[in-house]
Amino acid sequence: MSVVLLALAATVLFGSSSVMEQRSTKRVPAREALSPRLLVDLARRPLWIIAIAINVTGNLLQVVALHFGALAVVQPILVCNLLVAVLITVLTLHRRPDRTMLVGIACCVAGVAGFLAVAHPSGGRSTVPVAAALPLAVALTGALGGCLVAARFVRRLRPLWLALACGVDFGATAFLLKVVPNTLAGGFGDPARQWPLYLLVVVAPAGFLLNQNAFQAGRLISPVLSIITAVDPLVSIALAIILLKERVASSPSALLVEVVSLAVMTGGIVALAHRAPHVAHELSEGTTR
């Protein structure tokens, strides 16, 4: 239960910081993907500084939750950060959620709860052999590189490609955050043992930059955040099962329910993303009156 509460607390902080980060990126010049100049611009925005402080706190809670709980448990719960972000927008309008938003929220909660109840993620090893480093690095580089190329040449869908890259990166980052504390305990006598830390030093900043790029490129927060939110736990669950050997219920009926639950969760995310343009339009009308 403590792991769930930690993950939920991190979810609230992540959702809150996402709203503030997205608003801050709209007040600075547009930059190319992975350009550090964007961070220099944002560092002058007080709202962004507050958002980063909240985000860091959320990350600390996530690390603690990952230390005590399975990766396949913690990451799906973080899906709810989209709910927090959308609800904050609605509260800004001083109105109650409409039917579409309520359906989206219900689907997200039901999907996550259904997956966790049936899958019962458990077990898993605390470290991963160095043999997994190269395949993971190659797969991650290929996925992120492909998304960035698509974002560069398919300008109309640039925010969505950047969000996809960010979601993949965040999923890999969560996996590394789960492993790194356990490798640090073994010391640095064997450098090969610390490969998760070396990879994290590259992957985490890249994900942070991609997140800001995606927020800036997208006109609305919800479509971008919905992709990040959906892809992150799917990548995390895959890595947890493949590399950490975490166990989930694998009977035919259990697998069916797990797949359906994740589909329901994704449907809820899509519903919230569909509703976001209407909320944003009403919000912009309210601010111009």
Distances (CA, A) of 70 to 56, 126, 175, 179, 233: 21, 10, 10, 11, 12
Tell me how far apart the alpha carbons of residues 159 and 86 are, in angstroms, rounded to a whole number.
18
Place 1 in a pLDDT band, splitting at 50, 70 and 90: low
Nearest to 116 by CA among 209, 41, 8, 278: 8
pLDDT for 74 beyond 80: yes
Task: Give the Å distances, CA to CA, from 32 to 40, 76, 140, 154.
Answer: 13, 30, 20, 14
In this prediction, residue 166 has a pLDDT band, given cuts at 50, 70 and 90, of very high
Count the neighbouring beta carbons within 10 Å of the beta carbon of residue 63: 17
Query: What pLDDT sits at residue 159?
Result: 83
Residues in Cβ contact with 146 at an 8 Å cutoff, skipping those fewer than 6 apart:
none
Query: pLDDT value at position 281?
Result: 46
Q: What is the SS3 assignment for 93?
A: coil
**pLDDT greater at residue 239 or residue 224:** 239
Residue 144: per-residue pLDDT: 94
Average pLDDT taken over every residue of the chain: 83
Confidence of residue 111 (pLDDT cuts 50, 70, 90): confident
pLDDT tens, residue by residue, 176-191: 999 998 888 777 777 7
Percent share of the chain, pLDDT over 90: 29
Query: Exposed (0-12), middle (13-18) or buried (19+): which is 70, by Cβ within 10 Å?
Result: buried
pLDDT (tens digit per residue) in 2-30: 888 999 999 999 988 988 888 888 888 88
Residue 198 has pLDDT above 90, yes or no: yes
What's the distance, CA 156 to chain centroid?
23
Residue 100 pLDDT more than 80? no
The conformational region for residue 116 under phi > 0 = left, psi -120 to 50 = alpha, else beta, is alpha
Please give the single-letter amino acid code of residue 140.
L
